Amino acid sequence: MSAESSPKIVIVDESPIRAAILEEGLREAGFTGVVHIREMQSLLARIYALDPDVILIDLENPSRDVLEQMFQVSRAVKRPIAMFVDQSDAASIQASVDAGVSAYIVDGLKKERIKPILDLCISRFNAFSKLQDELDRTKSALEDRKVIDRAKGILMKVKGLTEDEAYVLMRSTAMREKKKIGEIAQSILTASELLK
Amino acid sequence: MIAPLHIGFIPLVDASALIVAVDKGFTAAEGLDVTLVREVSWSNVRDKLNIGLFDAAHLLAPVAIASSLGLGHVKVPIVAPFNLGLNGNAITVSPALHAAIMSEIDGSAMDPMATAQALARVVASRRKSGADPLTFGMTFPFSTHNYQLRFWMAAGGVDPDEDVHMVVLPPPYMVDSLANGQVDAFCVGAPWNSIAVDLGVGHILHFVSDILVRAAEKVLAVRQSWSEKNPEVLAALIRASARAAEFIEHPENRTEAARILAQPERIGVDAEVIQRTLDGRLKVSPDGARRESSRYLLVAREGAGRPDPAQAAWLYAQMVRWGQTAMRPEALKTAMKVFRPDLYDAALGQQGKATGPSDAIGAFAGPAFDPADIAGHLAAFRIGHWKP
């Protein structure tokens, strides 16, 4: 497939879920030539073999520096990489760095063809981190729930309170000390551990 | 009240002045509220500094120059008012390449000319036997590591672009790549050379101080526009860094400094390994042989903290020599202005000392370096992209 019909896009990402989310989005938008590289060994050789027009890499990936080599004019570099975006396009850089992704465009691809790829990439990366945040929040809420239940049990036993009274006591203490109820519950667990 | 500062760094021992400045409370004592942000790539550090996510950064000296010249990426003028260290890198080779060089060497293994010429013979015999070219790992196209490796091998007659492969590798991947044969050698900062030796997969062939007596390595970098808007904050940051650098150089503080640097959210390797590099007493061979050099890494000694524009000129000359940019007198001027001894002197209340054409670099090969005559300097080398 020639670059005119659909540019060949390589996604370099060690997270299979994020790469899948991005790949799906690109395919839906009509970009059919998408390849995902997960293995960082001999990264440059893999990329040269695929000869892509656009390379997308997540910013948590130390191998980003490997790609910088493609800016160099040397025997090893077949098609040099162009500037990531226009010198003037600071907003695009800001948006992609905020989203946690960087794009490398091989020389020759027109700017108007890059923009939709980059925009889609940024929105999918943002969607992924939102998902990740929600997952983390759910996990920590579940964790808090368990800690609170155990702390309640301790208060009920030691102070002879009902379940509701134990909860109210923790909540009012949390409000007074400007802490989260999970933190108060954790202190109760720690204290009871120490006093054992 | 001064706004909180975000400063990016890569987990390497040459970030020590910055890390100690923050963790020892020297920045707080200057009234600064600094959050250090550990990064995974130089590209990230550069971009986050450029767009303002970072106020300052631990940065490869050549990247500060490349950004100011718009080489390889968007052009953002950067200034370096404090040098985080001189030297500190080493060239480590696989046991197989070490044996091959030692069997070809004519002279002392400590002499970089002797090792470079031996390398040239190894390269020639590999070519004759049809073996793959050797592969050398370095950290970034615009890095001292890249230029130091090239300078060394070219002096012995090896063309880094024709006779071997030069590849960029993130420092944390260097050791694995040497162990699994993806690279035959690498040039990197501490602690990675020591880790390769400890694991028995590499020999330290040279400290870079064998190749260049003084080489600016990492700088404290800020955007020029930021430096102009925040002169007092910058001066405070320079003072805190200089105080930390002095602290680290006192032998009785080294254990504490190494412990601070070893924290998981800082460099995250064993304190003992870090202390070896601060002390300049490195295990160089898996058999336990050690080598000591007071020049391995200079953090504050010999005026290491004061940026020297002659160093910037040398780095610019390497960019020209290896075809990363064309020679332009105004670009040389811009490069030299990245290094700002005036800001350093002003912050520390010191009288500036002039840097003349005296050889501040001290390279093992070629004529003494004169920033006023880069063409003359480059003309002395046979191998390179630049032609008079």
Give the tens place of pLDDT for each residue, B82-91: 999 999 999 9
Pairing relation of β-strands B86-87 and B297-298?
Answer: antiparallel
* Report for A60-69, A103-112, B25-34, B345-354: range of highest mean pLDDT: B25-34
- Whether B74 sits inside 8 A of A93 (CB atoms) is yes
Rounded to whole angstroms, what are the CA distances from B22 to B6, B31, B273? Answer: 11, 11, 21
Task: Please give the pLDDT value at position B256.
Answer: 98
Same domain, yes or no: B18 and B38? yes
- Dihedral sign for Cα atoms in the order A84, A89, A92, A98: positive
Strand intervals (E) in chain A? 9-12, 34-37, 54-58, 101-105
Min Cα separation B78/chain A (Å): 16
CB < 8 Å to B162, chain A: 75
- Whether B380 maps to a domain, the answer reads no
Work out the average pLDDT over A34-52: 89
Residue B274 lies in a domain: no
List the beta bridge partners of residue B216. B86
Query: Is residue A88 pLDDT above 90, yes or no?
Result: no
Residues paired with A102 in a beta bridge: A57
Write down the pLDDT at residue B224.
98
Same domain? For B224 and B309 the reply is yes
Q: Looking at CA atoms only, how far is residue A71 from chain B in angstroms?
A: 6
pLDDT of residue A140: 86
Supply the mean pLDDT for chain B: 94
Q: Within this chain, do residues B126 and B185 fall inside the same structural domain, yes or no?
A: yes
Question: How long a stretch of residues is chain B?
Answer: 388
pLDDT for the residue B357 = 42
Check pLDDT > 80 for residue B372: yes
Same domain membership, residue B125 and residue B35: no
Tell me, yes or no, whether B388 lies in a domain. Answer: no
- Same domain, yes or no: B60 and B33: yes
Q: Which residues pair with B80 in a beta bridge?
A: B339
| pLDDT band, residue A75 (cuts 50/70/90) | low
Helix, strand, coil percentages in chain A from 3-state DSSP, rounded to 5: 60, 10, 30
Residue B178 forms part of a structural domain: yes
Co-location of B29 and B144 in the same domain: no
CA distance to A141, A174, A188, A189, per residue, from A137 (Å): 6, 20, 22, 22
pLDDT tier, A51 (very low <50, low <70, confident <90, very high otherwise): confident
Flag whether B315 is in a domain. Answer: yes
Give the residue on A whose Cα is nearest the Cα of B171. A62
| Same domain as B306, residue B260 | yes
Q: How far does the CA of residue A59 sit from the closest CA of chain B (Å)?
A: 7
Rg of chain A over Cα atoms, rounded to whole angstroms, equals 25
Three-state DSSP class for residue A110: coil
Cβ pair B170:A72 closer than 8 A: no
| Same structural domain, B337 and B234 | yes
pLDDT value of residue B356: 43
Contact A64 B139 (CB under 8 A): no
pLDDT single digits (tens) B116-137: 999 999 999 999 999 999 999 9
What pLDDT is attached to residue A195?
84
pLDDT of A16 > 80? The answer is: yes
Of residues B51, B141, B169, nearest to A71 (C-beta): B141
Give pLDDT, residue B346: 95
In the predicted structure, residue B64 carries a pLDDT above the cut 60: yes
Mean pLDDT to the nearest integer, A178-196: 90
| CB contact B134 to A (< 8 Å) | no
B75 and B219 in a common domain: yes
Contact B168 A65 (CB under 8 A): yes
- Residues of A within 8 A of B50 (CB-CB) are 93
Residues of chain A numbered 19-78 and touching chain B (CB < 8 Å): 40-42, 44, 59-69, 71-76
Domain count across chain B: 2
For A111, counting Cβ atoms within 10 Å of its Cβ (0-12 exposed, 13-18 middle, 19+ buried), the class is: exposed
Quote ipTM for the complex: 0.89
Domains delineated in chain A: 9-134 (3.40.190), 138-194 (1.10.10.10)
- Looking up tokens 């691809």 gives A109
Mean pLDDT calculated for residue range A81-103:
73
**Is the predicted pLDDT of residue A109 greater than 80, yes or no?**
no
- Identify whether residues B199 and B341 lie together within a single domain: no
From A101, which residue of chain B is nearest by alpha-carbon distance?
Answer: B44
Give pLDDT, residue A2. Answer: 44
- pLDDT, tens digit, 9 for 90 and up, residues B301-349: 999 999 999 999 999 999 999 999 999 999 999 999 999 999 999 999 8
Q: Among B194-208, B263-277, B345-359, whose mean pLDDT is lowest?
A: B345-359
Instruction: For residues B219 and B74, state if they share a domain.
Output: yes
User: For residue A66, which residues of chain B lie inside 8 Å, CB to CB?
Assistant: 167-170
Q: What pLDDT digit, counting tens, does each position of A115-173 carry?
A: 888 888 888 888 888 888 888 888 888 888 999 999 999 999 999 999 999 999 999 99
Supply the CATH number for residue B128's domain.
Answer: 3.40.190.10
Q: Do B204 and B237 share a domain, yes or no? A: no
Q: How far apart are CA A31 and CA A5, in angstroms?
A: 9
Put simply, the chain B residues between 317 and 336 with a CB less than 8 A from any chain A CB are 323-324
CA distance A18 to chain B (A): 19
Residue B138's pLDDT is 97
Asked if A140 has any chain B CB less than 8 Å from its own CB, the reply is no
In this predicted structure, what is the pLDDT of residue A57? Answer: 93
Greater pLDDT, A113 or B355: A113
Q: Which domain holds residue B254?
A: 5-86+215-267+300-355
The answer to whether residue B366 is domain-embedded is no
Of the ranges A66-75, A134-143, A185-194, B61-70, which is most confident? B61-70
Strand B135-138 vs strand B165-168: parallel, antiparallel, or unpaired? parallel
* B169 close to A (CB below 8 A): yes
